[in-house]
Amino acid sequence: MSASTASANDVQAVDGLANAYGRLRSEIGKVIVGQDDVVRYVLLSIFCDGHSLLVGVPGLAKTLLIQTISDVLHLSFKRIQFTPDLMPSDIIGSEMLDDQRNFRFNPGPLFANIILADEINRTPPKTQAALLEAMQERGVTAAGHRHPLPLPFFVLATQNPIEQEGTYPLPEAQLDRFMFNIRLDYPSYEEEVAVVKATTQDHKTSVQKILDGEEIRAYQHLIRRIPIADNVLEYAVDLAARTRPGTARAPEKVTEYLSWGAGPRASQFLVLGAKAHAATHGKYSPDIEDVQAVAEPILRHRIVRNYKAEAEGIGLEQLIADLL
């Protein structure tokens, strides 16, 4: 499948997206050293109108990363620190009496284009559910009235993989709302030297604004219009289906080591992610390699190992690699 299957306007738009993506990576690289995969997946999820879960230890510049991305995209940004005493109204907002003794809605911090939900597993399920509902519906309800959230709307939720005492882990059904589960690793020695050198000087690097909200919304619609060959779409669906133990398509290793597999939302995200990956690399239609490029962070939080896999030290990444 080639550019001939897409309209001339869409071909031009894909070229524009690929160019903008390269400029975004260049601008973000002025502030964020390394973390190429993390930046790539966050940008892809924004272009797919999805959300991401970022898992990493403290001090790896998660807040700086999302602040920098909001700056280059010219979007409003809010950071919410999730704590055990945080209530749904603290993030959604609430009705308040004004000077004329009329109730008016006072918006909470969710009313921004980009939300950093810091340590989402430290707040009770009621508040987690309020955030996840806003992610799904792109709006909130207070006192019986629905209030739409500003678009584009993107949530990057973080989890600390070390300290689990006193946390409220997200159930698998709620994890499924996130498009990507992104792992944030320590920087290399050379990268850490560059980070320390840049952050211990009295100089702040500024970035240029590359896109705005209207352009991002246009690219989100463009991603969905990109054509995909039947064999590539079927490969994405088959990949998700093969993660389901005990089914006809599941290989023996999946049935042996997994207790639960990915649902249909994984197939949808594999197709959207492949389209976005192709477009940001200047291709007018995705191929199987584009599906494989986004498969691990999409499947990682949607499949569950059983006791035998944990006892034998079989990791999720190994199982996904075998499926690919």
- Domain check: are 27 and 172 in the same one? yes
Q: Which residue has the tokens 């477009």?
A: 279
For residue 178, what pLDDT is reported?
92
Q: Does the pLDDT at position 5 exceed 60?
A: no
Greater pLDDT, 250 or 1 = 250
Q: What is the mean pLDDT of residues 60-85?
A: 86
Distance CA 57, CA 59 (A): 7
- Domain check: are 199 and 287 in the same one? no
Residue of 159, 108, 105, 163 lying closest to 130 (CA atoms): 108
Q: E-strand spans in 119-274? A: 139-142, 145-148, 154-159, 180-183, 258-260
For residue 322, what pLDDT is reported?
87
Helix axes 316-323, 288-299, angle to 10 degrees: 160
The β-bridge relationship of strands 139-142 and 145-148 is: antiparallel
Tokens of 284: 């007018």
Percentage of the chain modeled with pLDDT above 90: 33
- Domain check: are 87 and 140 in the same one? yes
Structure letter (DSSP) for residue 84: T
Distance CA 220, CA 43 (A): 11
Domain residues for 237? 227-324
Picking from 196, 225, 254, the residue at the C-terminal end of a domain is: 225
- Domain check: are 76 and 209 in the same one? yes
Q: Which residue has the tokens 């490969």?
A: 235
**Count of structural domains, the chain:** 2
CATH code (residue 199) = 3.40.50.300
Q: What is the mean pLDDT of residues 193-211?
A: 80
Let me know the angle formed at the C-alpha of 282 by 296 and 287, rounded to the nearest 5 degrees: 45
- Domain check: are 10 and 118 in the same one? yes
CATH code (residue 266) = 1.10.8.80
Q: What is the pLDDT of residues 99-155, one digit of tens each?
A: 777 777 888 899 999 999 988 888 888 888 888 888 888 988 877 788 889 889 999
- DSSP one-letter string for 119-145: TGGGS-HHHHHHHHHHHHHSEEEETTE
Element (H, E) at 322: helix 316-323
Distance CA 273, CA 93 (A): 32
Q: What is the mean pLDDT of residues 294-320?
A: 89
For residue 89, what pLDDT is reported?
87
**48 with 179: CB under 8 angstroms?**
yes
- Domain check: are 154 and 206 in the same one? yes
- Domain check: are 201 and 252 in the same one? no
**277 with 290: CB under 8 angstroms?**
yes
Distance CA 252, CA 13 (A): 44
Q: In what order do the strands lie in the sheet with 77-81?
A: 77-81, 114-118, 154-159, 52-55, 180-183
Nearest 10 degrees: Cα torsion 298, 301, 304, 308: 100
Picking from 169, 191, 225, the residue at the C-terminal end of a domain is: 225
- Domain check: are 283 and 246 in the same one? yes
- Domain check: are 165 and 297 in the same one? no
Q: What is the mean pLDDT of residues 250-266?
A: 88
Distance CA 99, CA 79 (A): 29
Instruction: Kindly report whether the peptide bond that precedes residue 152 is cis, defined as omega within 30 degrees of 0.
Output: yes
pLDDT, averaged across the chain: 86
Q: What is the mean pLDDT of residues 257-284?
A: 92
- Domain check: are 130 and 243 in the same one? no
- What is the number of helices (H) and of strands (E) in the chain? 14, 11
For residue 195, what pLDDT is reported?
79
Picking from 207, 225, 243, the residue at the C-terminal end of a domain is: 225
Q: E-strand spans in the chain? A: 52-55, 77-81, 93-97, 103-107, 114-118, 139-142, 145-148, 154-159, 180-183, 258-260, 304-305
CB under 8 Å to 253, separation ≥6 — which residues? 319, 322
